[in-house]
Amino acid sequence: MRLSIVFVAFFLLLSSSSARALESPWKSADHVQIRLVSASDSIGKDGVINAALEVRLEDGWHAYWRMAGDGGLAPTFDWKGSTTSSDIVVDWPTPERSETAGLQSFGYTGSYALPLTAKADGGKEAKLAVKADIMVCHDICIPQSLESELAIPAGDGKEGADAALVDKARKSVPVKDDTPALKIESAVVGPDALVVNAWSANGFDDADLFAEPADLVLYAKPEITVDAKDKRKAVIKIAKNSSEPDANLAKEAMGKTLVLTLVTKDGAIEKSYPF
């Protein structure tokens, strides 16, 4: 009986450790670290690469989203050293808004991961290689440059030990359309403000709205007016930047596509509106 118990325990231990982690070592600069992780332990016949760039910030420091806001600088990534057969697509987790000395910033604190997607020739190994320029800020802002690379061998594409980490990163990215619980119903740009009609199943407490491209300078904290008869409906207004009182947003938006990211308790969605 004792021998059987030992055998079962050994078998369970072997099974639990069979998923191999495929990840690069942490690369460090002042106040920030990065590494690359793969969701699988190899590249399967379909050539799909499902991975993430994990970023770890020192306590009290923050980094920026793809649109930094009033101050700071968005990260940039150079993938020229990679050997994938397609471009590497970087997705961005939902940002957080912070305010310092009246300036609005959009970004991240703590640890976060940016999901990566690419393709490789089926049956061949590939390499992810990144040069990341990341500005990190606390009382001061410091631009940092870090490099990391990860070789992914050819194989059967079996799920690796970091699959849950990559999956969590993907779930942190806004959904690219309305959901049953969250909708952007319309968006209008006037001379002085962007006005959005939205619907959120659980209301608009602590809601936020981000508008791109950055050159429209719509950084102000949104003014949210909830419908008195239906708390699931709201009009959200982002006024033009106070530093540009003579700007005409309607003219500046003409011919451009606005990307709106709406965040509520019901999640985050991203929608594009051509003007």
Burial of 180 (0-12, 13-18, 19+ CB in 10 A): exposed
| Chain centroid, CA 242 distance in Å | 28
Q: Where is 147: in which H helix or E strand?
A: strand 141-152
Q: What is the pLDDT of residues 114-123, one digit of tens each?
A: 999 999 987 7
d(CA 42, CA 2): 38
What DSSP string runs through 163-179? HHHHHHHHHTSPBSS-B
170-229, pLDDT tens digit by residue?
999 999 999 999 999 999 999 999 999 999 999 999 999 999 999 898 999 999 999 999
Domains recognised in the chain with CATH numbers? 20-171 (2.60.40), 182-274 (2.60.40)
The Cα–Cα gap between 239 and 243 comes to 11
The model carries a pTM of 0.89
User: What SS3 class is residue 5?
Assistant: helix
Residues 66-100: pLDDT tens digits?
Answer: 999 988 899 999 999 999 999 999 999 999 999 88
Which among 203, 164, 199, 194 has a CA at the least distance from the CA of 269?
Answer: 199
